[in-house]
């Protein structure tokens, strides 16, 4: 019997489940301003370490104050990126109405100056709903190890890996993904839910892999103030972030 | 106010209903020593083949271990029995009937000699349902970095981390666990479902962190009569419907695990799964709904 060969009217492969994330390419003026700002922090002998609050096996992790971001001219840009992430996620996840209102605040920020053999173990972020990382300086660390038995294999050195679920990453299953790895590129900003586990692999050899990370809170409310989503506690901004350096 | 009742509950049991089951086994000293001696020989043998091209590790020395090596070390039956005990204990915890037929086989094995600044990125294992790692040499690598801003913080260097689910590890929630970390100890054997993601952190300084990993496959059948499956003894056993495990059949002969060093270990085996002589006393520590 002759088989029907008519094309389907629609054939849409969808990804409806799992967390939404944002991958943003920053304009050059924002990237340049943040590189310059972080140069200043790195060179400033009074730059305050944030390492005690962080998981990284990394010697130089420096606090970025709200005033630093304002002085760099990037504060509002980054806040807008966070709000854009919140609104787009709410729309994609079917939780947005046009009369809803979003408020969000970056509530901590730090640079990570990663050098050879340092790494960031698997962790997530506390006291926030949203986390982000942007890349400022990325040396080419690929292919440096030259392990005979690993020729032709993907190299994880210096990559960031986000981990969602082992059972979404079953071997031999193409329909779901539980981990995803990025090769960082200077000027890229990634925004993600703060509970999402992530880590950074070490690398060998010369070069500084410099990133800047920040956390944020958000709330979505109705125009009458009814709570829809986000931070239910109304957490205040940490004093170290807003104090210390005045714009 | 009326006096409040202070009687103790008749039962108060914290239970864990969901998530994968894993095993922590402390091996007897003679098994650990036999495997150290075996791995010493494998490392010294210039003819030993690398297994690195099949593995995720950013590690120079990952060497193939053959079934013959394990048999010669006197540790093959022990490890097979550990796998069988894991499967049997998990099956019991799932309230499977007592008369099911369990078949399991180790189907690949390798040593990992990890040195400074090497690591194993997040990965899981393919071609198997069960994976395991045991530790043979574990230098004390904690506290070596001396990063001033990290004083008094837990050190992950050299640790193995198992990762199940980010949503189970939400900050501020004590009722769920999404990742678990172990500081390895020589003589410890961990068995887990092969899909469970895991990784090993690097360390700095002197010392070899030596582990041996293996994969295994299993099948659980209703009792026969039906098709016939082969046990490790080479005997055929009549079984009924497949209940759990590999649907592709036991992957008994892997490309390297048997072939390069041929040995008639099937005659030496003693793995009749109808008898419980190959089972250890498994301890299922978490409870299930009554």
- What is the interface pTM, i.e. ipTM, of the complex? 0.80
pLDDT (0 to 100) of residue A243? 77
Mean pLDDT in chain B? Answer: 85
pLDDT confidence tier of residue A244, bands split at 50, 70 and 90: low
Q: Do B124 and A148 touch (CB under 8 A)?
A: no
**Which range, of A147-161, A233-247, B63-77, averages the lowest pLDDT?**
A233-247
Give CA separation, A171 vs A138, A176, B246, in Å. 31, 10, 13
Tell me what pLDDT residue B150 has: 94
Over residues A166-184, the pLDDT tens digits come to 989 988 888 889 999 999 9
**Nearest 5°: phi and psi at A18?**
90, 170
Nearest CA in chain B to A201: B121
**Contact status of A207 with chain B (Cβ, < 8 Å):** no
Distance, CA of B184 to CA of B139 (rounded, Å): 9
Answer whether A183 touches B (CB < 8 Å).
no
Question: In 3D, which of B248, B169, B187, B239 has the Cα closest to residue B24?
Answer: B187
Interface contact flag, A179 B195, Cβ < 8 Å: no
Task: Kindly tell me if the per-residue pLDDT of B12 is higher than 90.
Answer: no
B265 pLDDT more than 60: no
Q: Residue B247 has what pLDDT?
A: 82
pLDDT at B235 over 80: no
Distance from CA of B247 to the nearest CA of A (A): 13
A133 vs B250, which has greater pLDDT? A133
State phi, psi for A228 to the nearest 5 degrees. Answer: -110, -50
Share of chain A above pLDDT 90, in %: 76
Ordered by start, the domain boundaries in chain A are 10-143+152-232
The pLDDT tens digits for A57-86 are: 999 999 999 999 999 999 999 999 999 999
pLDDT at A175: 84
Q: Which residue of B has its CA nearest to A166?
A: B164
pLDDT of residue B275: 38
Q: Is the predicted pLDDT of residue B193 greater than 70, yes or no?
A: yes
Q: How far is CA A144 from CA A140, A151, B62, in A?
A: 9, 11, 19
* B112: pLDDT strictly greater than 70: yes
* Contact (Cβ atoms closer than 8 angstroms) between residue B258 and residue B266: no
Residues of B in contact with A161 (CB under 8 A): 121-122
Tokens 């992957």, located at residue: B251
Average pLDDT over residues B200-218: 97
> What does the pLDDT average to over B79-95?
91
Q: What is the pLDDT of residue A247?
A: 42
Question: For position B255, what pLDDT does the model report?
Answer: 57
CATH 2.60.120.620 fits A10-143+152-232, yes or no: yes
CA distance B198 to chain A (A): 9
């Amino acid at each position: 019997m002759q088989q029907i060969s008519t094309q389907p009217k629609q054939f849409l492969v969808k990804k409806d489940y799992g967390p939404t994330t944002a991958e943003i390419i920053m304009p050059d003026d924002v990237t340049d301003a943040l590189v310059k700002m972080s140069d200043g922090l790195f060179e400033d002998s009074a730059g305050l370490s944030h390492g005690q609050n962080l998981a990284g096996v990394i010697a130089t992790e420096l606090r970025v104050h709200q005033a630093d971001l304002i002085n760099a001219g990037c504060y509002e840009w980054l806040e807008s990126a966070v709000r854009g992430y919140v609104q787009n996620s709410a729309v994609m996840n079917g939780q947005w109405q046009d009369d809803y209102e979003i408020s969000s605040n970056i509530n901590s920020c730090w640079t990570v100056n990663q050098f050879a053999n340092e790494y960031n173990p698997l962790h997530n972020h506390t006291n926030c709903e949203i986390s982000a990382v942007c890349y400022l300086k990325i040396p080419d660390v690929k292919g440096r190890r030259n392990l005979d038995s690993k020729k032709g294999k993907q190299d994880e050195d210096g990559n960031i890996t986000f981990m969602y679920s082992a059972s979404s990453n079953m071997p031999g299953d193409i329909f779901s993904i539980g981990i995803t790895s990025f090769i960082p590129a200077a000027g890229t900003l990634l925004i993600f839910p703060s509970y999402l586990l992530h880590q950074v692999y070490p690398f060998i050899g010369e070069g500084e892999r410099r990133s800047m990370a920040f956390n944020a809170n958000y709330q979505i409310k109705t125009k009458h103030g009814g709570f829809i989503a986000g931070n239910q506690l109304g957490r205040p901004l940490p004093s170290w972030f807003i104090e210390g350096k005045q714009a | 106010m009326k006096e409040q009742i202070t009687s103790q509950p008749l039962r108060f049991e914290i239970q864990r209903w969901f998530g994968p089951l894993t095993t922590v086994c402390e091996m007897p000293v003679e098994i650990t020593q036999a495997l150290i001696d075996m791995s010493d020989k494998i490392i010294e043998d210039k003819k030993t083949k690398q297994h690195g091209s099949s593995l995720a590790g950013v590690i120079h020395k990952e060497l193939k271990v053959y079934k013959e090596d394990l048999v010669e070390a006197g540790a093959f039956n022990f490890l097979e029995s550990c796998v069988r005990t894991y499967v049997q204990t998990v099956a019991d915890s799932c309230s499977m009937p007592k008369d099911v037929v369990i078949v399991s086989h180790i189907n690949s094995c390798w040593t990992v000699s990890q040195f400074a600044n090497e690591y194993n990125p997040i990965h899981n294992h393919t071609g198997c349902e069960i994976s395991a790692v045991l530790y043979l040499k574990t230098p004390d690598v904690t506290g070596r970095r001396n990063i001033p801003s990290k004083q008094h913080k837990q050190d992950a260097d050299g640790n193995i981390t198992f990762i199940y689910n980010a949503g189970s590890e939400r900050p501020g929630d004590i009722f769920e666990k999404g990742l678990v970390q172990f500081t390895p100890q020589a003589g410890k054997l961990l068995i887990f479902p092969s899909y469970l993601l895991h990784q090993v952190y690097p360390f700095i300084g002197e010392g070899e962190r030596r582990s041996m990993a293996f994969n295994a496959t299993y099948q659980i059948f209703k009792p026969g009569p039906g098709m016939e499956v082969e046990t490790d003894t080479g005997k055929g056993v009549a079984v009924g419907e497949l209940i759990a495990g590999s649907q592709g059949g036991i992957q008994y002969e892997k490309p390297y695990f048997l072939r390069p060093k041929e040995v008639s270990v099937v005659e030496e085996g003693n793995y009749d799964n109808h008898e419980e002589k190959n089972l250890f006393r498994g301890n299922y520590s978490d409870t299930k709904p009554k």
